[in-house]
A and B are shown apart, each in its own frame.
Chain A
Amino acid sequence: MAELILTPNIDNPDDFYAELLATHEGLDKAASDALNARLVLILANHIGDRQVLSQALAAAALKEED
């Protein structure tokens, strides 16, 4: 069974974060929100694995300690 990766997995995290911010630059909040929603769907499709996606949804909700 595939496991959601929750340890560092991105090379040059600062480069990634800067690119993420740059993608949002100049957008108003509504446009930024929409971009984030599209990004979630694109990344989810790339992952594909339903179990991993369920784990990711739970992790994002910060539910593990409840």
Chain B
Amino acid sequence: MNKIFEIPLYPYARSADQDAPAPVRHKVVVVGAGPIGLGAAIDLAQQGVEVVILDDNDKVSFGSRAVCYAKRPLEILDRLGCGKRMVEKGVEWNVGKVFFDERLVYEFNLLPEDGHEFPAFINLQQYYFEEYMVDRVRELQAEGAPIEIRGRNKVAAVGVHDDHVAIEVDTPEGPYNLEADWLIACDGANSSIRAMLGLDFIGRVFEDNFLIADIIMEADFPTERWFWFDPPFNRGQSALLHKQPDNVWRIDFQLGWDIDREREKKPENVIPRLKAMLGEDAQFELEWVSIYTFQCRRMEKFRHGRVIFAGDSAHQVSPFGARGANSGLQDTDNLCWKLKLVIDGKATESLLDSYDFERIQGADENILNSTRSTDFITPKSEMSRLLRDAVLDLSEHYEFARPLVNSGRLSVPCIHDGSPLNSADALAGGPARSRPGAPCPDAPLGDEFLLPKLGGRFVLLTIDADAPDLIEEDGIEVTRLALSVKDDPTMALKERYLGEADSAVYLIRPDQIVAARRPSFDDNLIRAAIRRATGKE
């Protein structure tokens, strides 16, 4: 068996840094080559910021792990140059079925809105996800971008200084030292950087074990998410079936707390469980088996001077709702443009405080939602279970109970209401979904789409409004994108950006989040909004 996750994709190679007489200083060091670390590094390299990724491993994710990727992260990944390949390989799905005991009680369709380039969700094994990102790193290197990935480079110690971070790295050929102006810690829920800095990571522990079995199976099951509460084949617990590419199926069994983890992981114990679920005659092969527990917790602050945490190292959620990798990519999307401005001297470090504000807001929303899903899926008291079962019984008969069924509230991006970078909403009648602090919704423009036109820079989006083609305010360049409602005959652009208004001017950040909007251009007010969006007011 030669799976992609068994092949070293970035094997250890001696770096010139290891032979340098004094520690070499880099602009940014990213620790961890998972989806979030790779995302951060690619984003920075695309902006011309020199970046080195250090990873203690040399392979992509072992096993499928995070498999469910949502629209907003896919849009971000498109800007990073790998979203389309992921969608092509991934499995799209919209229908979910909820079973209680032996009965189908409820079926939902995500009913994705038309006029978006990317689907609501795809399923894709994390190893493919990371492989495509490593390929993108190689592509950037071939273009001469300043990005490097160092396998089997394990950070052994960090020293945080006012203007840099000193890093000691262990390699198969012994240790060496380097320095970074900035360190982004993307080293996962068990972050060693966080431990080295002695930072706390507080939250709620859930006393439950879940068994993941990825199986390769030729099966006629539809491409749907099937979720069972208290099924005959896993009495008193839950189960999930979800399709991935290459006929790999993710099966997830709740096991409860008092179990022998090593015993439960053995194929001779896993296979009977699978046969009870899929039928005695089901033909399948085990690809990967794992048992996990989880916590919902976050760091008090994500930025500690020159060290910035992103992804699971900063916040951890239960897997229900696909809010781990999906939110981590929104962390780096939020961070990288701000860091670029600070590195270029076009904004002060205080801009980075808004990363803390906005992404802690996002993390808290994700923790709240995934905690509630977990409370529904794994009731912690007799009454909690009674109420849960009552909701499920009622949902089979009455529509009203269905919104209460919670098998995971699927990841949607946070709207950063109250962010210090927002200017007050000045577009009377404008749609709530594109208010300041909201990520821009996509919209069709003939054969093209809106979001790729926004790209990763400051944009002044004008819809049936006049404005200068280029504004420069204190080093920040803002390029105009002039559109008209006539550019979209489906009227999605009007519905998503004008609402009741006749015209609009939107100031949009490089992470495609609305900073300000008003009915028409006003030089003073737009300049103030630019200053505010870059932490200068």
**Cβ contact within 8 Å between B409 and A24:** no
Most buried by A among B376, B393, B398: B398
**Cβ contact within 8 Å between B399 and A24:** no
**Cβ contact within 8 Å between B383 and A24:** yes
Chain A residues with CB under 8 A of B384: 21, 24
- Those of A34-55 within 8 Å (CB) of chain B: 36
Q: Which of B126-134, B236-244, B400-408 contacts A (4 or more CB under 8 A)?
A: B400-408
Interface residues of B: mostly helix, strand, loop or mixed? helix
Most buried by B among A21, A27, A59: A21
- A57 interface hit (Cβ, 8 Å): no
Q: How far is the CA of A65 from the CA of B398 in the complex (A)?
A: 12
Contact with A along B388-404 (1 / 0, CB 8 A): 00010110011110111
CB < 8 Å neighbour of B376 from A17, A36, A62? A17
**Cβ contact within 8 Å between B372 and A32:** no
**Cβ contact within 8 Å between A29 and B383:** yes
**Cβ contact within 8 Å between B403 and A20:** no
Q: How far is the CA of A25 from the CA of B375 in the complex (A)?
A: 12
Q: A8-B402, A21-B375 are in contact. Are A62 and B383 (CB under 8 A)?
A: no
**Cβ contact within 8 Å between B404 and A7:** no
Q: How far is the CA of A43 from the CA of B375 in the complex (A)?
A: 25
How many Å from the CB of A57 to the closest CB on chain B? 14
**Cβ contact within 8 Å between A8 and B400:** yes
- B163 interface hit (Cβ, 8 Å): no
Chain A residues with CB under 8 A of B397: 59, 62, 64-65
Contact with A along B454-491 (1 / 0, CB 8 A): 00000000000000000000000000000000000000
Chain A residues with CB under 8 A of B382: 29, 32
Q: How far is the CA of A25 from the CA of B384 in the complex (A)?
A: 9
**Cβ contact within 8 Å between A14 and B400:** no
- B109 interface hit (Cβ, 8 Å): no
- B295 interface hit (Cβ, 8 Å): no
With an 8 Å Cβ cutoff, the count of chain B residues facing the other chain is 21
- B110 interface hit (Cβ, 8 Å): no
CB < 8 Å neighbour of B369 from A5, A14, A21, A59? A14
**Cβ contact within 8 Å between B400 and A18:** no
- Those of B377-435 within 8 Å (CB) of chain A: 381-384, 387, 391, 393-394, 397-400, 402-404, 406, 409
How many Å from the CB of A61 to the closest CB on chain B? 11
Which chain A residue has the least Cβ–Cβ distance from B398?
A6
CB < 8 Å neighbour of B399 from A8, A17, A36, A65? A8
**Cβ contact within 8 Å between B381 and A17:** no
- Those of A1-23 within 8 Å (CB) of chain B: 5-10, 13-14, 16-18, 20-21
**Cβ contact within 8 Å between A6 and B406:** no
Most buried by A among B376, B381, B402: B381
Which chain B residue has the least Cβ–Cβ distance from A36?
B383
Which chain A residue has the least Cβ–Cβ distance from B406?
A14
**Cβ contact within 8 Å between A17 and B400:** no
How many Å from the CB of B221 to the closest CB on chain A? 28
**Cβ contact within 8 Å between B404 and A32:** no
Chain A residues with CB under 8 A of B398: 6, 59
- Those of B342-393 within 8 Å (CB) of chain A: 369, 372, 375-376, 381-384, 387, 391, 393
Which residues of B approach A to under 8 Å, CB–CB?
369, 372, 375-376, 381-384, 387, 391, 393-394, 397-400, 402-404, 406, 409
Further pairs besides A13-B403, A14-B372: 19, Cβ < 8 Å: A5-B400, A8-B403, A9-B400, A14-B369, A14-B406, A14-B409, A17-B376, A17-B387, A17-B404, A18-B375, A20-B387, A21-B375, A24-B387, A29-B383, A33-B383, A59-B397, A62-B394, A64-B397, A65-B397
